[in-house]
Chains A and B, each alone.
Chain A
Amino acid sequence: MQVVAQAQRVPAPSSVGNRWLRDAIGLALIVAAGLAGYWLFPDNLALLTRVIAVALLVLSLDLITGYCGVASLGQASLFGAGAYAAGIACVNGVTEPLTLIVIGAVAGAAAGLLMGTIMLRAHGLAQLVLSIAIVQLFHEAANKASAYTGGSDGLAGLTVSPLFGLFEFDLWGQTAYLFGLALLVVVFVVLKFIVSSPFGMLCRGIKQDPIRIRAMGSFVFPVLLKMFVISGAVAGMGGALAAISTQVVGLDSVSFELSANALVMLVLGGLGSLYGALVGTVIFMGFEHIVSAINPFHWMTMVGALLIAVVLAAPGGLSGVLETITRSARRSKGGRP
């Protein structure tokens, strides 16, 4: 996986104040886009809430693949762990939505700890295979334990009590959507702090050259495992949000397909960029909603062609393209004083 790192450019150092401003603008854009979605598509709020839940999953994948260089095709196991934990808790009488999110995060973090412990034993291809095997095992386990998870019928009958005792989760999904949006914004801010902390920088260092980091006196394994736990918590929150908003937890939330799609969304948006994860998710799921309604096989062809095009033409994804454009624009502006 070291080679993955070489494709990644080190971000140009920018002054601290500049960065704060940029992040504030980015956050404002996310909130604006979220609210715009609320006003523009009032009939599709269920879909938009699903987009937010999947965006959390893709963000969590970005943490380990984009920032640590550990490619995973099994991220949905963390998402599913959160979803099922929240679902089971809800069926058994814990109906407070914020508590459910916390339960999802804890379950996801525990799954992340387990998955990290197993996956970090191997490198390269074996690691990828382990991640696939783990998600398939989770899938079979969820299918088997139908007394708790409902098996292939899914876990239904979740009734979530009103948020703060005031806002009912209504039929149109307005509460669920705004709740999800708020959750996404909070998680995004926290992750922004994490990835720019010394710990986040250490992770990027490991991605670029683990041997050198080890030679500098850091332990690689605990750092990566910590990131796995954080990533699991984020994915678990996504799963819990999906469970709360749809009031059903299906087997598809721990599927290889969801994991592969998450990776595609991340690569489309751009590895190693939190904004890229969001952009990739929104674009992918938007197109999926439109095209797969026409013919699911056209959708597969299109995703395939898109993937090939991204790999060949824009290895940095959409955010990479955007960065190149802004940089060349800045350079040409600097060229003509």
Chain B
Amino acid sequence: MQTVLSIAIDAFAYGMALFIICIGLSLTMGLMRVVNLAHGAFAMIAGYIASYAARDLGLGYAAAIFLAIVGTVVISIPLERLLYRRIYGRPELTQVLMTIGITFCVIGITNYFFGPTLKTIPLPGSLSQPVDVGFKTIAAHRLFVMACGVVVAGGLWYLIEKTDFGIKLRATVDNAAMADALGVRTQVVYAVSFAIAIGLAALGGVVGAEFLPIEPYYALRYMVTFLVVVSVGGAGSIPGAVAACLLLGAVDTTGRYLMPEFGNFFFYAAVIAIVCVFPRGFFGRAQ
């Protein structure tokens, strides 16, 4: 029973960390139809900034997160202007190649500046101690990650379903040309949602650093994981992303707990099974 509980808690926390990162990718892929393999690269940039801010500048955890999000979004703006603009609406292979290229550049440049070592983001005292929640003690950081995931999911749901911007966003997703003709400034919608996506990647990269450690090949190592999660959940769908993250997080964590020698075997076996049964993902829209 204890094992089941600790697996469930770890799986949930891991799934939420995945969710925070992947939901941004799901948005870009569902909304702008861009297969952005460089999404993990932005999470990595954020991780490096946060690590630099917390360790070398001595800032607090909250300030490091804030700085990482702002810094990553600022870095992403010229990239969006100069590179991403050119691949909107292009074939998938082109987008994959371009964004792999961006990923390679980010890895090369980041390591040139920060050196090829593993970066840690020191947790504040309040997050590094265990918390008693009645039936079990859980590391406070795990609770924090879960809370972040729930807040992000709720916030995005509210933003997309209940606000003015959400209406424009959904209209643009359904039919960009028609939304444009009706006076929605689709370029602005694109730019804002790209920034939100990158900001979420940054948040996830920093918060999830305990699960996905920040290291030189971060962007390449987890690129596949993020892409897989999004395609299993269905691009552009929040419930789909939640379901995919929780399910794949559970499969991965359970496999690691019970049969650690098999590594990622179960993760990818589950992916093949799911993609074969649901080629568009759990909640993907028909193309």
Kindly state whether residue A214 has any CB partner on chain B within 8 Å: no
Kindly state whether residue A7 has any CB partner on chain B within 8 Å: yes
**Interface residue from A126, A133, A311 paired with B101 (Cβ < 8 Å):** A311
Contact with A along B214-227 (1 / 0, CB 8 A): 00100010001001
Specify which chain B residues have a CB less than 8 angstroms from the CB of A182 in the assembled complex: none
Which of B5-13, B144-152, B260-268 interfaces with chain A?
B260-268
Q: Chain A: interface residue count, which band? A: 35 or more
Specify which chain B residues have a CB less than 8 angstroms from the CB of A267 in the assembled complex: 97
With A125-B35, A125-B235, A140-B263 as contacts: A307 and B98 at CB distance below 8 Å: yes
Kindly state whether residue B130 has any CB partner on chain A within 8 Å: no
Closest to A123 in B: B279
Q: Lowest 5 CB-CB distances: which A-B pairs, in order?
A: A301-B108, A304-B104, A307-B101, A304-B105, A300-B108
Contact with B along A294-315 (1 / 0, CB 8 A): 0001111111111110111001
- Compute how far the CA of A301 lies from the CA of B102 in the bound complex, rounded to whole angstroms: 9
**Interface residue from B104, B216, B279 paired with A307 (Cβ < 8 Å):** B104
Instruction: Report which A residues bind B (CB closer than 8 A).
Output: 1, 3-4, 6-7, 65, 71, 73, 118, 121-126, 128-130, 132-134, 136-137, 140-141, 143-144, 256-257, 260, 263-264, 267, 297-308, 310-312, 315
Specify which chain B residues have a CB less than 8 angstroms from the CB of A307 in the assembled complex: 97-98, 100-101, 104
For the complex with contacts A4-B91, A126-B280, A134-B268, 18 further pairs of A-B residues with Cβ separation under 8 Å are A4-B93, A7-B94, A71-B93, A71-B96, A73-B96, A122-B276, A125-B35, A125-B231, A130-B271, A132-B228, A133-B268, A133-B271, A137-B268, A140-B265, A299-B108, A305-B101, A308-B83, A308-B105
Q: 15 interchain pairs (CB within 8 A)? A: A1-B91, A1-B92, A125-B29, A129-B275, A132-B228, A140-B268, A141-B265, A263-B97, A297-B107, A300-B108, A301-B109, A301-B112, A304-B101, A305-B101, A312-B86
Specify which chain A residues have a CB less than 8 angstroms from the CB of B76 in the assembled complex: none
The majority secondary structure among interface residues of chain B is helix
A304 touches B102 (CB 8 A): yes
A297 touches B272 (CB 8 A): no
B107 touches A300 (CB 8 A): yes
**Interface residue from B92, B105, B224, B268 paired with A4 (Cβ < 8 Å):** B92
A137 touches B280 (CB 8 A): no
**Interface residue from B29, B92, B108, B265 paired with A297 (Cβ < 8 Å):** B108
A122 touches B265 (CB 8 A): no
Name the distance in Å between A206's Cβ and chain B's nearest Cβ. Answer: 16
Kindly state whether residue B182 has any CB partner on chain A within 8 Å: no
Name the distance in Å between A119's Cβ and chain B's nearest Cβ. Answer: 10
Kindly state whether residue B51 has any CB partner on chain A within 8 Å: no
Closest to A6 in B: B91
